[in-house]
Structure 1
Amino acid sequence: MTGVQPFPSGFRTDEINTDGATIHVRVGGEGPAVVMLHGFADTGDMWAPLATALAPRHTVVVPDLRGMGLSSHPESGYDKKTQGGDVARLLDAFSIQKADVVTHDIGNMVGYAFAAQYPDRVVRFVIMDAPLPGIGPWDEITRSPLLWHFNFRGPDVERLVKGRERIYLDRFWNELSADPRSIDEATRDHYAELYARPGAMRSAFNQFAAFAQDAIDNQAFAAKGKLTMPVLNRGIRPVPDLRGMGLSTATSPPGLPREPRSEPSGREPRPKAWRRKRLMRQRAISTLAVFAVFALIAGCAAPSTNVSGSGSGADGSALPANRDVAGTWQGSYWQLGMVYYADDADCTLQIKEDSTFIAKCTRSAVGTNNIAKSSSWSGHVVTTANGIVLKNNGGPWPSIVLRRHGDTMYATTLDPLVGATIEMEFEQSPHTTAGTGEK
């Protein structure tokens, strides 16, 4: 099936007047309510597959956010605090007192503002793939070159994009999507047509323009305390700065198994031992009941055993030798969080017994606007309180923590530009022996 999946025939649409806006909303199903909030470059249409799965046991409420999709395009009210009020008015219109809230991207920000203002109306809260303005390393995030669109707005910018909405949106689908190939031409045309409606792109830009006010509001919300309902965080790993997001149980997601991809044209199939296990770390969330939306985020767990090794210990001195990690490792690269997923990358990590390392990654072409097609960095290996750490010599990340489990090596770091966790997964190369570092 190509194009946007329609909602089930039992769903109805309605137009609800809120604080200065008219919100287009889809409602269907029976049972405990679930509200689903979309992000930028999408509309509520993105939730149709999940709404279909949820409807037999849940009342599903799927709005288009203020100024997006088929909702109206008011001149103001794009701060997420006001839009949190929009969500409350929607629930009032359907006589719904409480709901699970499932959100993505800018929808996260609206969902958080709703939960912070109306905590008694949120049973459980699921957030995916975007941070909160003003919380954690927000200033660093906004300076990321990948996120230039945060400040891409104004009348002249609207004129520049007018008639080129598809081109502008292609950039998001090609560079910031998990897999650009999953968004087919019919789907792209569908959303581009909606964003080409009069006033639609101006409203979209206003969503970003409101981030400054959102940061102020979020800091005020967080100062009153964290949310108390169960929260499932899919996409932003629980690095220390992000644990303070005002979320009660922010955690890394259960593992997300992915369908195997065919090898790109021209590449020999990788040896089986080199293929990604497609496992991510899992932290139990016993307080979250299982319901159909979690099909997106259920799976297996990758162990997180810290590597132990020789050296002088936690003072950060160089390792004279470390036979536990020395060798050549081959694997894949991906970034969890805001930017992209790439399991099509060939990466090599060589750790030598002289306590130096060299790492290289090369991506295959995906989409039309690729980022980070290749990268390399080098440095030395030290022992710290966190275990074995790779210290870069002017590389893209200051340090990388290693964990080993059997024949698999996990290398994890925090990208300071986007506040997201980078993790590389490696298999021991069949052509080398750990402890030699040589082919």
Structure 2
Amino acid sequence: MSYISRPMSSSSHSNHAAQMPISVAGLSPRVQDLHQRVKTFIDEKVIPLEADFLKHQLSKDKWSVWPPMENLKAEAKSAGLWNLFLPVESDRDVKYGAGLSNIEYAFLCEQMGRSAIAPEAFNCSAPDTGNMEVLVKYGNEEQKKAWLQPLLDGKIRSCFGMTEPAVASSDATNIEASIRREGDYYIINGHKWWTSGASDSRCKMCIFMGKSDRSVSKHQQQSMIIVPMDAPGVTIVRPLLVFGFDDAPHGHAEVTFENVRVPVGNLLLGEGRGFEIAQGRLGPGRIHHCMRLIGMAERSLQLMVERTKSRIAFGKPLATQGTIQADVAKCRLEIEQARLLVLKAAHMMDIYGNKVAAPEIAMIKVAVPNMAQTVVDRAIQSYGGAGVSSDFPLAGFFMWARVLRIADGPDEVHLRSVARMEYAKSVNSKL
């Protein structure tokens, strides 16, 4: 079976939308073709360059642009494999991307997850994807011309300033950064960290979240504004290390904003609408992270199978050991379960919208990173010492699977959301 039929809603785009594809075979011929071309591009052009990229990351020029990436981007763009991530939410959105639904893109995004450098080649890497979605949905025409178009063209990169070192940022109402109006300008002050991409020399803008009015209800205090990274008062303090790794040339920076003057026209949507924008940004982004993690898990399992077939221990291939076979079987079970849950979430977003899909979105953010971390760990174990080396992608995969149990909202926050929604089903619930 290649799809599951679901009831139609009045807001569905077409009769086909009622069918939830559960494999590539359930996709339209056009999307199947895109999927195959993305897969081939990654196999033939991206994965062979991984070793060269690692050399660049370890070189003295690691914070400079890696030239082969620009070549890959040019090839992907000319092949029509570009900006595939933008979902169809209205007719106006189609002109910006490939016109795919969330569930159609999910299958392509899984392929990109097989290599850490693949998403950027297709202009489909975070945080640019989320920022472009924000500008498409909430930006005015001036903002789109100044910032969205260069991002869509892959000429610049961007970052997102939300998390702060001084407060528990898993509760976004804690954020202390300020956005204060002064005539025709907003004055920006704040101390951010884990601002992914800010260290990249191509990063030209930050979507900054801060409080613009502390006198109103807590979910209306926040606003988002576009801050040029070359504005006076913006200082990159340092690139933060993730398990001792700086992730150059992308990086995850600690950044300070001291009395940064930004034109009023850079405000997104309006004062007090930061949480509204954040919710619109996080839905598709969570699908993207999860599908990439599934691709990562698939490649880890593939590497595990290949390794255990070829390595001999105690007189026979590792693949003949019952414990190894059990681990391989568990990996397959867990990957399939996680993929189906993500596809369900993507399908519900397409048919019913992010709000209705909220329980599924919260569930995948717990289930998928934990699954990927477990699968990659088993693969590492099968490789022995080689598994934790830089000769194979497994150590990097493990790092990112672990990070994403925090970076896109900690497990505990998503579990709390799922539990509350479960209790809400009870008529007698008071939570």
Task: Indicate the structure with greater strand content.
Answer: 1
Considering only CA atoms, is the larger Rg found in Structure 1 or Structure 2?
A: 1
Is the pair's TM-score, using the shorter chain for normalization, greater than 0.5? no
TM-score, reference length from structure 2: 0.25
